[in-house]
Amino acid sequence: MPDGMDKLTERVQVVEVKVDHLTERVQVVELHVAHLTERVQVVELKVDDLSTSLNELSASVDERFDQVDAALGEQRQYTEFAFSRLDAQMDAGYARLEAKMDAGYAQLDAKMDAGYARLDRKMDAGYARLEAKMDAGYARLDRKMDAGYAQLDAKMEAGFSRIERKLDQFIDVQLQTNELVDRRLSALEETRAPDAQP
């Protein structure tokens, strides 16, 4: 029986080692997730850079507007006629600028939406692959543990069967011995019985 316990202990230790190995693999997967998080942060930095570029563009447009206002002030000093003509030109310029800016913002929105959509798809695909790998790993571990338990059960059943056979043999030998002892006692009693009569 101690040998069986030692083997059972060794089996349990092997299962523990396999569980430790699976834990290490999960930690590797966690490192991959951390790397993916870092890549997402890089994308966020790029989006921040794009926002900074838009702010710089806005500042540049404001500067251009300031220059136009200065030019308008100088033109107003010269002549009212030139001012009215310039006013008409400015209206047309504002319309064109507004149309260009609207188109630029629309393109930027479309590009950002497409970028976010691609990022979402990549992250979804990455999480799906990670989940599939973890599910496959757990399934393999379950199969290995089930196989290990089945082998252990089979060995324990075989061990119990051997012990039962040995006990049955011991009982049979004991019964035969008891029967032989009873026969010898009976024979001794029969041989002594005539001597005991007066």
Q: Count, in order, helices (H) and strands (E) of the chain.
A: 2, 0
Backbone angles phi, psi at 41, to 5 degrees: -65, -35
In a domain, 66, yes or no: yes
Which stretches of the chain score pLDDT less than 70? 1-3, 72, 79, 82-83, 193-198
Q: Note whether residue 165 is domain-resident.
A: no
Overall pTM > 0.75: no
| Total structural domains within the chain | 1
Which of 111, 138, 11 is CA-nearest to residue 53?
111
28 domain residue, yes or no: yes
Q: What is the pLDDT of residues 106-144, one digit of tens each?
A: 898 899 899 989 988 998 999 899 899 899 998 998 899
Query: What pLDDT score was predicted for residue 194?
Result: 61
Q: Specify if 64 maps to a domain.
A: yes
Q: Is residue 188 part of a domain?
A: no
Rounded CA-CA distance 132/70 in Å is: 65
Distance CA 96, CA 63 (A): 17
- In-domain check, residue 78: yes
Q: Is the residue at 95 inside a domain? A: yes
Which domain does 59 fall in, by range?
9-154
